[in-house]
Amino acid sequence: MKFSRIGKDMVRCVLTEQDMIENDVKLEDFFKNREKIHGFLEKIVEQAREEIGYEANGGMLAMQLMPLPNKGLSITFSENSEESFGNMMEHIKDMIVDDADETEDIQDTADDKKSRKNAPRIFRFNRLEDIEEYASAVPLDKMIKSSVYKFENDNSYYLILKKGKLKKKVYETLCFQALDYAELISDNSAQAANIQEHAKVIIKKNALGILKEL
């Protein structure tokens, strides 16, 4: 496990596939086996205290999870949030692929697999300024397919990132960096289409490039 601080109150723990195996934890356990996961998270918080001096005050931990390449997992957590453990469960359900899904994937056509691989990532930001900070932090040597939307009765802003012609490693890095400023809520094309149809468009094309220039 590798720990790093993100600001004063937030910590990121990156687990490799081997870390997951050694701790007998799978991504689906986070919403199927709460008792097991509570014990695992207590271990992570304690290790964060030992390695980087993180001090938990006994409050409810808010967490964001993101599957990483090579079957790894990123866990970002903090007590300084209105989010709850239960909400976190809802956020990651769309990212879970259980054994049954993997069996079905084998039967998928090549076009289906390509479609999922190139599915957009949807991030929810609390403020437009947070997207500006993210845009300023990422290196841009070409246009990135990105757009920003906002629902009328929702204070959040939704950034849709598409892989386009980017190399997979570059795209994954961009998505990983976004977690410093937002939460990943979906990698589902249908949900992206729903946002594009029903939300107000703030920046339709090259959102990161435009915001970086502000």
From CA 31, how far away is CA 65, in angstroms rounded?
12
**50-54, 74-78, 171-175: segment of lowest average pLDDT:** 74-78
Closest CA to 177 of 48, 26, 76: 76
Closest CA to 190 of 157, 160, 153: 160
State pLDDT tens for residues 16-28.
889 999 999 887 7
In the chain, the domains with their CATH numbers are 2-105 (no CATH), 110-212 (3.30.70.1950)
From CA 8, how far away is CA 1, in angstroms rounded?
20
Beta carbons within 8 Å of 123's beta carbon, 6+ residues apart: 158, 159, 161, 178, 182, 183, 184, 185
The pLDDT of residue 107 is 42
- Phi–psi pair at 93, nearest 5 degrees: -60, -40
The pLDDT of residue 93 is 45
- What pTM was computed for the model? 0.51
**Summary count for the chain: helices (H), strands (E):** 10, 9
